[in-house]
Structure 1
Amino acid sequence: MPIVEYEPGTAFPGKIGRTAAESSPAWPAPIRARDGAPNVLLVVLDDVGYGQFGCFGGLVDTPNIDRVAAAGLRYANMHTTSLCSPSRACILTGRNHHSSGVASIMEAATGYPGYDGRMPFENGMLPEILLGHGYNTFCLGKWHLSPAEENTLAGPFHRWPLGRGFERFYGFLGGETSQWYPDLVQDNASISQPKPPEEGYHLSADLADQAIRFVLEAHVNAPEKPFFMYYSPGCAHAPHHAPKDWIERYKGRFDAGWDAYRQEVFTRQKEIGLLPADAKLPTHDPDVPDWGNLPADQRRLYARFMEVYAAFLSYTDHHFGRILDTLERIGELDNTLVMVLSDNGASSEGGPLGSVNEMLFFNQVPESLEANMAMIDELGGPRTYNHYPWGWTWAGDTPFRRWKRETYRGGTATAFALSWPAKVTARGEIRTPYAHIIDIAPTVLEALDLPAPKTIRGVPQSPLEGVSFAHTFNDPEGATEHRTQYFEMFAHRAIDHDGWRAVCPWPGPSFTEAAAKGHHFGDPTPPEILDELETTGWELYHIAADPTESTNVAAEHPARLRELITLWWAEAGKYKVLPLDGSAQARLATERPQMAEPRTHYVYYPDLAVVPFAALPRTYNRPYSIEADVEIPADGAEGVLFAQGGTAGGQVLYIQNGRLRYAHNYVGRDVMHVESSGGVPPGRHRLRFEFEPTGRPDIKNGKGTPGRAQLYVDGELVANTELPHTTPFLFGIEGASVGYDFGEPVLHDYAPPFTFTGTIHQVAIDVSGDLIEDTEADIARLMAQQ
């Protein structure tokens, strides 16, 4: 007898009698995709400039991204928000970033509707929509779309990937992570990486392994069921990590420098047809030094930074190719809509000198050329947290000016490649209609012949704000249907409308020009500043004739400029862009609602998942203590009691060679130790570290509070030393663990995880300011013993 199915919620079509023999069954129909529904593979890279993919004229080898472009299309006129979380919100929802409350990264949320970081459920995501049409939905890599204070294992989990329509997740929740020691989450649980870097581990390879596994596990069970995969490997966001042999492939490739790179890529982009023949390259950026004027050692270091970056991108491209190969092997590649793009332009967060440790930037520690040179052979490896200098950022965004976080096209334009061999007949063609990443979701829905839903899980849906460009797939002459698009990031503003572009840069067109007026990135924008910007700060470009923003024509077209400024304010009111806020540090330091009540005493237990750094007590520049309640067996014990952070900076309380030790890793530059003179005897003990400030922090120079580091065993002072400075703001993005050192080690005196071999009952951190009283004589005695 054939199976009878009926739509859930409708009347039962079978028959119910007194017995089964007198009855006929029917089944609620499962949700199935329509026959032949395509897969969707959406690849979102991080901080990759318009001029870095090979298929967009770049000098980095990306054969598999190029393979997508050759099998389909390159879109030369695609735009982002200029920052990661906002762009990802746009891509997945089809709405503007302020409409989703994601004006900035989630860690910079403030208490206004366009800025609060709480993405509303009326802005449904693609996986939520496609799940309701019979798709498997997979998320791999970077998320960065849930509030940082909700990223603990206390939840809530409704804004994690599994709460937003994904059935499976393997990746990391924050904005960045080490490629060698990632902060991994699988579904709704923190996990450890499958093997250490010494055994060949790298996150890019791991993510590809998991992506292939997700596809094959679904395919063998339901070969006809399509999937939607959001694949976001975190490349090429700092830290730039790559295997040594991949780095060596680029040795000498960038010795000519960023000026030469920019010129060569610009020429190639014209040859490819991405730019018109009469396009101009904007003048040399005032913030970027001329390569030829740099000393030889500096050029050697900077070239090496770029070799590492290129290796990172190529290595990630290689593993993306494995996913394409798998789809081809199982016969699914032709019917897979593949889209590849970056979330914004290249990143300038390495500063003018580059950095071996990005935590220097976050802690306002000045870069040292000498210190960076000393680490040149370590760049890209597990002992560094590196980022290239912003000369390469500027070059990577060729042919445009400026970079990530700014709304010039260097920050907002992205390379975009698309293929779908079964439906897109073009091979290697270029499309030039204006598009924005809010157009991706409606384009996917049109390509799949699916309507935008009126409700998702009972929640009425807001209208999509993007428009589909699916009509351009097979029509080279297809015109844009996206006429107007605003931009805003940290009060840096722009608007595109019918081939014209107005830009109001804040704090200025460059850092150099801004500083001449006393303005700096992160400065707030009070009313008097805004009034000045409205009268003198706007620039105008005729993008239809000048796609690289090389010539400001505001003086020639004042009426056009006034029209665009007025239009920007209208869009700002419509999409929750106000209030404008150029501040950076103040936004990062904003007090936000927390899941837990405020406290000064934190208790942790051994061998549990890592505690995210955003949920940890802030021990910087204040008195605090770490106390472990432990039992030492008769034959002794060693290992980590409490570890926070990693190679880029952190602190660890541990026992080694029988002695109680504490180490403070100051931004990877120097490690300060204190160690007990005798061993910890067998039995149950309270092992305590205390920090007592003895001076004021020197924040301007990146130095936190100096102080006294003291160790106690059962209340008796056993070691003491002075720390001349401490970490001022942030150890690192890695969290904390009890009984082992999660991920990368805080210091290299032991091999992680260096699990404690005794028993830990609990570890308590106290930031109330209560310290054990010591006499100066005791301290002086212990100082003499060090």
Structure 2
Amino acid sequence: MALTEYPPGTAFPGRIGRTTDESVPAWPRPVRAAPGSPNVIIIVLDDTGFGQLGCYGSPIATPHLDSLASSGLRYDRMHTTALCSPSRSCVVTGRNHHANGMAAITELATGYPGYDGNIPFENGFLSEMLQQHGYSTYMIGKWHLMPSEQESAAGPYDRWPLGRGFDRFYGFLGGDTSQWYPDLVHDNHQVEPPRSPDEGYHLTEDLADHAISFIADAKQVAPDKPFYLHFCPGATHAPHHVAREWADMYRGRFDDGWDAYRRETFARQKEWDVVPADAELSRHDPDVPEWESLPADARTLAARMMEVFAGFLSHTDAQIGRLLDHLRETDELDNTLIMVVSDNGASAEGGVTGTTNETQFFNNAPESLEDSLAKLDELGGPNTFNHYPWGWTWAGNTPFRRWKRETYRGGASDPFLVHWPAGMSARGEVRRQYAHIIDMVPTVLDVLGLEPPATIRGVTQSPLHGVSFAHTFDDPDAPTRHHTQYFEMFGHRAIDHDGWRAVCPWPGPSFAEADLPFGAAITADTLAMLDAERWELYHSAEDFAENHDVAAEHPGKLIELIARWYVEAGRYDVLPVDGSAVQRLLTERPQLTEARTSYTFWPGTAVVPGSVAPRMYNRPHSITADVDIPQGGAEGVLLCQGANSGGFTFYVRDQRLHYAHNYVSRAVHQVSAPDPLTEGKHLLRFEFEPTGAPDLAQGRGSPGRAQLYVDGDLVAQADLPVTVPIMYNPGGMTCGANPGAPIVEAYTAPFRFTGVLRSVTVDVSGELVVDSAAEMRMALSRQ
């Protein structure tokens, strides 16, 4: 008897009698993709500018991405939102970022629909859509699509990758992480890296390994089942971490500086038709110093930072190449639709000088040039958390002006590659049609012949906002179907419409030309002034890089575009216009639990993200560990937070109790008990009492008296001259071990406690001192 299948939810087509010999069976039909359906891979790079891939004119070697371009397509008018999480929400939903509740980063969420940081379930993810059609769905790498306070083991988990349609996940939930000691999650639980840096570990390689294994796991069982892989390495976001041999490939290549990089890259872009023949290079940015104006040592440092970045990007390309090789070896490459994009333009969070340790920058404690030079040979390694100067940011966005977080094209235009040999005949061509990342989901559905679902898990779905550009694959002259696109990021606004572009920069065209600092609030009066006086107009069909403001010549066109911006703003929940940053950070938000001053932790539990860990900076606090020391003694970490870039650790070593505070990797201040711990049960306690006020503006946290107690008896004390004032990054807190980079050199991670550790209790009942502006800078830099 032939097997009979029927669609689930429909009437049973068999026959049910009193016994099986009188009955006819039938089975609910499994969900299967249409025969021959292509695989789908979307690769989202991080903070990679328009002029940083080799195939877009860069001197940085990206041969595997270049191979996708040479046998596929490059687009020169793909647009993003200019910031990480907002862009990533568009890529996976096909809806605009404010409609996703992602006006900015979730750490800056406010109580308005476009700003609350929670992607509505009516805005389904591509993963959820393709699951309904028989696809395997995999998420690899950076997520950062949910409120940070939901990243802990307390959940909720409905906005984690597995809650949004991905079958499997391996990566990190936050905005950035160390490439050497990453914060890793596998599916819905934390894991530790499989190897140490000394054993050759690097996160991007690990991500590629898991991408390949996820694909192979399913294909060996169901070779005809297609997959969707969302591959999001943390590269090239800071920290720029890569083995020295990759950076050394570029020794001396950037000694001529960022001005020369721009000129040479722009020349190649024109030669390779990546930009129109009549394109002009944008002006020298007023915030970027002339290369020759820098002292020789500063040029040496800046050039090495760029060498490290270049090595990082080339290394990332090599891991993408391994993934492509696997597809090629398994005959899957030709029928895999691959799209490659960056989430925004190159990042300027390294500041004008760059940094070897971003934690110093976040804590208002920038290092001197001399201190930076002392770490020149360590740049990119496990002992740094480095980011290049913003001169390289500007160069990386060639030929455009400005960078990430701003809606000029330098922030909102990125390289975009499409590769699908089985589905298109074009090879190595450039497409000039206008597109936005909200168009990626509609294009995938169009290619697959699928309609957007009416419901997902019973939730009625909202319409997609993007349009397919699949019709451009084999037709370079096909008309653009995306006619109007708004932009808004921290009050910095723009709109594109049929070859015209209007931009209203906030608080100004550059930092040097602004009357107010970044993050200044926009009042009703300010908004009226901006709309009346500050909008710029560019004929983008003829002025590729926004060089010629023609607002005075075309006032009618400008008024039309401003009006269109407000129409789009009303349609997609952009209002109210909010240029603030610190105020948003201070916004009270719904929390999972009530505020408290006492926290209890247990060994063997998950790392507690910094967003939900007790805030111990600049206030009296105590740490009490309930332990049992076995015969022969014990050692290991009782409680720690941070990493070798800055943090504290409360631990036992050489049978003695210690507390050490790593001040932004610049100094370690410690108090140690003189006598060994005896066998048996003990309460081990650390207390900190501030002895002075913090100087947050100068990067100095409260000095204080550090005391160690054993069973209530004071056994040691010392004065800490300075503490970390604002934040640790990485900032996770762990009980019973120090996973990741060891906070001090006195031990080797993870240095798990070898005795019995029942619990550790932290009390933070003292008054808290904060610097919201610095916390805002850190939050933004993690995008």
Say yes or no: TM over 0.5. Answer: yes
1:472-498 deviations in Å (ceiling 9; x for gaps) = 011110111111111111111111111
SS of alignment partner, residue 415 of structure 2: strand
Structure 2 residue corresponding to 1:558, chosen from 540, 555, 558: 555
Cα drift, residue 708 of structure 1 = 1.7
1:366–1:701: 8 Å Cα contact kept in structure 2? Answer: no
Aligned match for 1:530, one of 498, 509, 527: 527
d(CA) in 1 for partners of 2:32, 2:537: 51
Deviations 1:49-108 (A, max 9, x none): 000000111111111111111111001100000000000000000000000100111221
Partner Cα distance (1:447, 1:721) in 2 = 67
Supply the distance in 2 between the matched residues of 1:65 and 1:609 (Cα, whole angstroms). Answer: 37
> Equivalent residue of 1:47, what SS?
coil
Matched, 1:668 2:665: yes
Give 1:527 shift: 2.6
Classify the secondary structure of the residue corresponding to 1:572: helix
* Separation of aligned partners in 2, 1:359 and 1:450: 47
Q: Partner residue of 1:379?
A: 379
Counterpart mapping for 1:180-579 below 5 A: 180-514=180-514, 517=515, 519-579=516-576
Which amino acid letter does the alignment assign opposite residue 142 of structure 1? Answer: K
Q: Is the 8 A contact 1:736 1:742 kept in 2?
A: no
Q: 1:1-36: per-residue Cα shift (whole Å, max 9, x none)?
A: 221100111111111112112211110000000010
- Name stretches of at least 5 consecutive residues in structure 1 with no aligned partner: 771-786
Q: Quick one: structure 1 residues 580 and 361, their matched pair in 2 at CA, closer, same or farther if it must change by over 3 Å?
A: farther
When the two structures are superposed, what TM-score results if normalisation uses the length of structure 1? Answer: 0.96
How many angstroms apart in 2 are the aligned matches of 1:12 and 1:634?
A: 69
Check whether the contact 1:117–1:147 (CA below 8 A) recurs between aligned residues: yes
Structure 1 counterpart of 2:774: none
CA contact (8 A) 1:639 1:656 kept: yes
Tell me the secondary structure at the aligned position of residue 266 of structure 1.
helix
Cα distance in 2 for residues equivalent to 1:681 and 1:533 = 70
Deviation digits for residues 90-129 of structure 1 (CA, Å, limit 9, x no counterpart): 0000000000100111221111110101110000010000
Aligned pair 1:72/2:69, yes or no? Answer: no
**Equivalent residue, structure 1, for 2:608:** 611
Return the match for 2:754 from 733, 753, 757: 757
Shift of 1:458: 0.7
Q: Give the superposition deviation at 1:715.
A: 1.5
Corresponding residue number in structure 1 for 2:770: none
The one-letter amino acid paired with 1:80 is T
Amino acid at match of 1:561: L
Tell me, yes or no, if the aligned pair for 1:33 and 1:225 is still in contact at 8 Å: yes
Contact 1:350 1:389 in 2 (8 A): yes
1:637, CA displacement in angstroms? 1.3
Match of 1:777 in 2: none
State the AA in 2 paired with 1:691.
Answer: F
CA distance, structure 1, for counterparts of residue 424 and residue 568 of structure 2: 34
Task: Answer yes or no: is 1:8 the counterpart of 2:8.
Answer: yes
The alpha carbon displacement at 1:590 in A equals: 2.7
1:287 Cα offset (Å)? 0.6
- Show structure 1 runs of 4+ deviating over 6 A: none
Query: Quick one: which amino acid aligns to residue 753 of structure 1?
Result: P
| Post-superposition offset of 1:536 | 2.1
Q: Is the 8 A contact 1:6 1:13 kept in 2?
A: yes
Query: What's the offset of the Cα at 1:244?
Result: 1.3
Shift of 1:566: 1.5
Please give the residue correspondences for 1:43-82 in structure 2 after superposition, counting only pairs within 5 Å.
43-82=43-82
Deviation per residue, 1:265-286 (Å, 9 max, x gap): 0111111112222221111101
Cα shift at 1:586 = 2.8
Measured in 1, the distance between the counterparts of 2:35 and 2:540 equals 43
CA distance in 1, matches of 2:462, 2:726: 39
Secondary structure at the counterpart of residue 678 of structure 2: coil
CA contact (8 A) 1:643 1:742 kept: no
Q: Deviations over 1:121-177 (max 9, x none)?
A: 000010000000000000000000011111111111000000000000000000000
- 1:561-604 superposed Cα distances (whole Å, 9 cap, x missing partner): 11111111121111111122222233233322111222111000
Residue 643 of structure 1 corresponds to 640
Q: CA deviation at 1:697?
A: 1.7
Greater shift in the superposed pair: 183-192 or 529-538: 529-538
Structure 2 gaps, min length 5: 768-783
Q: Is the 8 A contact 1:183 1:734 kept in 2?
A: no
Per the alignment, residue 732 of structure 1 pairs with: 729
Q: Is the 8 A contact 1:743 1:752 kept in 2?
A: yes
Alpha-carbon distance, 1:725 to partner: 2.3
Supply the distance in 2 between the matched residues of 1:347 and 1:718 (Cα, whole angstroms). 48
Deviation at 1:706, TM superposition (A): 2.1
What is aligned with 1:172? 172
Structure 1 residue 258 displacement after superposition: 0.5
- The answer (yes or no) to whether the contact 1:162–1:187 under 8 Å persists in 2 is yes
SS in 1 for 2:445: helix
Q: Single out whichever of 137-146 and 705-714 deviates more from structure 2.
A: 705-714
Q: Is the 8 A contact 2:658 2:672 kept in 1?
A: yes
* Secondary structure at the counterpart of residue 614 of structure 1: coil
How far does the alpha carbon of each residue in 1:489-543 deviate from its partner, in whole angstroms, 9 at most, with x for none?
Answer: 11111111111111111121111111xx2x1112222233323222222111111
Question: 1: distance between equivalents of 2:586 and 2:644?
Answer: 24
Q: Distance in 2 between matches of 1:527 and 1:367?
A: 40
Find the partner of 1:599 among 574, 578, 596.
596
Per the alignment, residue 677 of structure 2 pairs with 680
Verify: 1:585 aligned to 2:582, yes or no.
yes
Q: For the Cα contact (< 8 Å) 2:355–2:366, is it kept in 1?
A: no
Alpha carbons 2:642, 2:729 under 8 Å: kept:
yes
User: Does the CA-based 8 Å contact 2:346-2:404 persist in structure 1?
Assistant: yes
Give me the whole-angstrom Cα distance separating, in 2, the residues matched to 1:711 and 1:592.
Answer: 36
Give 1:42's aligned amino acid.
I
Residue of structure 2 in register with 1:92 after alignment: 92
Once the two structures are superposed, what CA deviation does each residue of 1:703-729 show, in whole Å capped at 9, x if it has no partner? 222222221111222222222222222
C-alpha deviations, 1:424-447, integer Å up to 9, x for none? 100000000000000000010001
Q: Indicate the percent of aligned positions where both proteins have the same amino acid.
A: 61
CA deviation after TM superposition for structure 1 residue 735, in Å: 0.8
Counterpart contact for 1:94–1:442, Cα < 8 Å = yes
Q: What amino acid does structure 2 have at the position aligned with 1:257?
A: G
Aligned amino acid, residue 684 of structure 1: K
What CA distance in whole angstroms lies between the structure 1 residues aligned with 2:118 and 2:502? 30
1:451 aligned partner, one-letter code: E
8 Å contact kept, 1:349–1:361: no
- Give the superposed CA RMSD: 1.1
SS in 2 for 1:453: coil
Residue 41 (1) aligns with residue 41 (2): yes
2:687 aligns to what? 690
Other-structure match for 1:700: 697
1:709 corresponds in structure 2 to: 706
Distance in 2 between the 1:552 and 1:489 partners? 21
Distance 2:428 2:278 in 1: 23
> Secondary structure of the equivalent of 1:322?
helix
The one-letter code of the counterpart of 1:276 is P
Q: Secondary structure at the match of 1:306?
A: helix
Aligned equivalents of 1:707 and 1:393: distance in 2? 40
The normalised TM-score by structure 2 is 0.97
In the alignment, residue 59 of structure 2 is paired with which amino acid?
L
What residue is the counterpart of 1:775 in the other structure?
none
